[in-house]
A and B are shown apart, each in its own frame.
Chain A
Amino acid sequence: AQSVTQLDSHVSVSEGTPVLLRCNYSSSYSPSLFWYVQHPNKGLQLLLKYTSAATLVKGINGFEAEFKKSETSFHLTKPSAHMSDAAEYFCVVSDPVGGSYIPTFGRGTSLIVHP
């Protein structure tokens, strides 16, 4: 069985400071891991994904995430926050269940960026 825990429901940062959104997962297999972003009243957009290649994954808009198997973590980071980064972020794990891959979403982390 797979599960994902986003450790913070809200993260508040000042513009120009680093961003850290934490995600821990549980999986019986070698999982695929994703981060999606959702702006208010919009659909979700892929930021980046890990699929058993390089453990440090670079995504769009300056975000990156590092897969750490020993810590079962896939934290999302960005060196310098921008006002446009304010949104909801979802960590997702995917591994085979009965032969099909059904993604499991975390509950989301709301990123608040102060000027």
Chain B
Amino acid sequence: TQLLEQSPQFLSIQEGENLTVYCNSSSVFSSLQWYRQEPGEGPVLLVTVVTGGEVKKLKRLTFQFGDARKDSSLHITAAQPGDTGLYLCAGAVGSQGNLIFGKGTKLSVKP
């Protein structure tokens, strides 16, 4: 059974602070995605990383895929209240189509 462990589960910070969310597994993934979900809505894909060591940036968000493709991190610089939401990582196993999710990190950014 593949498991994706996300940490921290909850994070409450002030506007302007930096933060990092981690996604770890003992399994190797062919690709890993990060999503953001608002209450009452479905998750929205932020980024997909596929190469070990890959780093992608999306404005103030930086995503990194571990060299062994077992872990990933999401770093937010100068967080804003609009970043508040549930952040989810999801890993794809080979080409089987199996896409599993971590439990999520609930982020609250206070003005």
Partners in one complex: no
- A residues engaging B (CB < 8 A)? none
